[in-house]
Amino acid sequence: MSGHKRFEIIANGNITTPAGFRAAGLHCGLKKTQRNDLGVIAADHPCAAAGVYTTNAFKAAPLIVTEESLSRTGKLQVMLVNSGNANACTGDQGMADAREMRKLAAEAFGVSEDLAGVTSTGVIGELLKMDRVRGGIARLSDATHATAASGDQFSQAILTTDLVKKEACVRVMIDGVAVHIAGTCKGSGMIHPNMATMLGFMTTDAKISSATLHALLKETTDQTFNMITVDGDTSTNDMVIVMASGVANHETELTPAHPSWVDFVSGFRYVGEQMAKAIARDGEGATKLIECTVEGAITQEAARGMVKTIIGSSLVKSAVFGADANWGRIIAAVGRAGFPVRTDAVDIRLGGIEVLRQSQPVEFDEDRAEAYLKGDTVHIIVNLHHGEGRATGWGCDLTYDYVRINAAYRT
């Protein structure tokens, strides 16, 4: 466990670390491999909950069903997820299957349907093999425990083309009581900053209302999950869900007026940012994480827009893959981002290497730049000298493997 000023990082924490939560993951037969493809997060009692969802017009059936549950109560107690099949663009049968999954999950854990949510990830346009899903749900309850192993099984169950599981966990002191925030997510392809950009699940044992939790999740999403891109595609199934058990039982409910609110927000954002960066680093075929900071923009909106344009540029991503210090691709992305820019005032650095000053080329050591770009993390810093706007976002390089993976996604 390592520390930050406002929170402590729990190195081996997972979604069962916050009190009041159990989890499970197993293989029910949706994937051709033996990897887990069905998972659940279950709480001991109804939890304050909130969600953010894809802005893709073709929203998958499970997301609609989960929104229905949350809109009725603002609470969740069971969150079911399958991988290997997105249950998206599957018509009336897909909706019926999503609702049946919710019903079966609620029955398996002894809760009302309004307290159950479902989500799916995988291939679009294929009906679920519901006989296998039914069999898997029937086994989930006995497999659900509040252990690190169970949390790990859930994190494995949500993966598709991901190479690694993605988790983060912190501890914050509220009214002298230890409060935990944890998260796990999946995402490797079809990642673009446009609402949730992935499947993400967060748990906390804090006492906090659904309304306050939703506002915090939306703000955090804008600063973290919405600041990543892998390939410019926004999925039909993107969603982030957070559940708060309240079991920590600190004296006062968390609101923006609470003396420790800033500490809680810092920990919550850290978990979101770590998951966002993990998705970018694990982009399909990726070999490098690209972190881009734009400062001195005329507004924060402009800074965010330019960051997204830079990290989303296929030319920038290809140059990073090839360790080519071609700053012209970066300045071109800045110029086409659609925000005001002083064309005589832009500075660009690659890590600590200055390559452009006041929009004029700077002589730099090409060998040193190439060596830097061959590292596993590349930081692009752009200063526009035009205002106070600042933003950071994350992406990855574009490799031959990205095409190979997606050319054979269904096979």
Q: Across-strand partners of 200?
A: 185, 240
- Rounded CA separation 385/345 (Å): 6
Give dist(CA 51, CA 218) in Å, integer.
Answer: 8
State the DSSP code for 410. T
Pairing of strands 289-297, 377-383: parallel
**Sheet arrangement for strand 347-350:** 360-361, 353-357, 347-350, 377-383, 289-297, 389-396
DSSP-assigned letters across all residues of 63-97: HHHHHHHHHHHSEEEEEEEEEEE---S-HHHHHHH
DSSP at 115: G
| Annotated catalytic residue 197 | yes
Candidate list 90, 184, 197, 309, residue with the active-site label: 197
How many whole angstroms separate alpha carbon 198 and alpha carbon 157? 14
| C-alpha span between 347 and 363 (Å, rounded) | 13
| 6 contact partners, CB below 8 Å, separation of at least 6 | 172, 262, 263, 266, 267
Task: Give the residue numbers marked as catalytic.
Answer: 197
